Amino acid sequence: MMSKSFYNIRLFEIILLVILLVSFDQCTKVYISKIMLNNNFNDIELFPLLNIVFVRNTGISFGMLSEGGLLGRYFFSIFSLVVGSLLILLAILSEKKLLCTSLCLVAAGALGNAIDRIYFGGVIDFIDFFIYNLHWPAFNFADIFITLGVVVLLIDNIFYKKNAF
């Protein structure tokens, strides 16, 4: 059982981590959007396998369900906000540092993309990896946070099965 002071410190750390990650995600999206606007939304080559692009994804992963319109926009926004909030609550209740960190990563990614859906009507994706003409779907830092958090959760689940919460 956690003491009250430990609980308060853990709560502060979790909220701070999520705010920092969401802020980083949002700042990169605004910065890239400004650069792309100044560049007439033309792709910018950074490296031979990496471009900066501007994609507004109104669907879910890889653009699926992008024809959802206004209903989809609000459904995905509310869903992401609820999931992000529940993951923060689970992180607060968790006593395992690795589990807590991974839940914070996924929550921050979900909240970052939810903010995009509310503000822009879709998620702003801008990182484009490719080999020749084979492009991985564009993504952003919120997607990286979600993926990293899920990978850490899987590693935690596979190698450290004791004391789930």
Residue 118 CB-half CA count within 13 A: 12
Q: Other C-beta atoms within 10 Å of 30: how many?
A: 12
Closest CA relative to residue 109, chosen from 154, 150, 152, 162: 150
Q: Which of 25, 125, 128, 156 is catalytic?
A: 125
> Is residue 125 annotated as part of the catalytic site, yes or no?
yes
> Is residue 116 annotated as part of the catalytic site, yes or no?
no
Cα-Cα-Cα-Cα torsion 60, 61, 62, 67, nearest 10 degrees, comes to -10
Q: Render the burial of 116-148: b for 16+ CB within 10 Å, e for the rest.
A: bbeeeebbbbbbbeeeeeeeeebbbbbbebbee
Residue 83 CB-half CA count within 13 A: 18
Q: Which of 25, 116, 128, 143 is catalytic?
A: 143
Which residues are designated catalytic? 125, 143
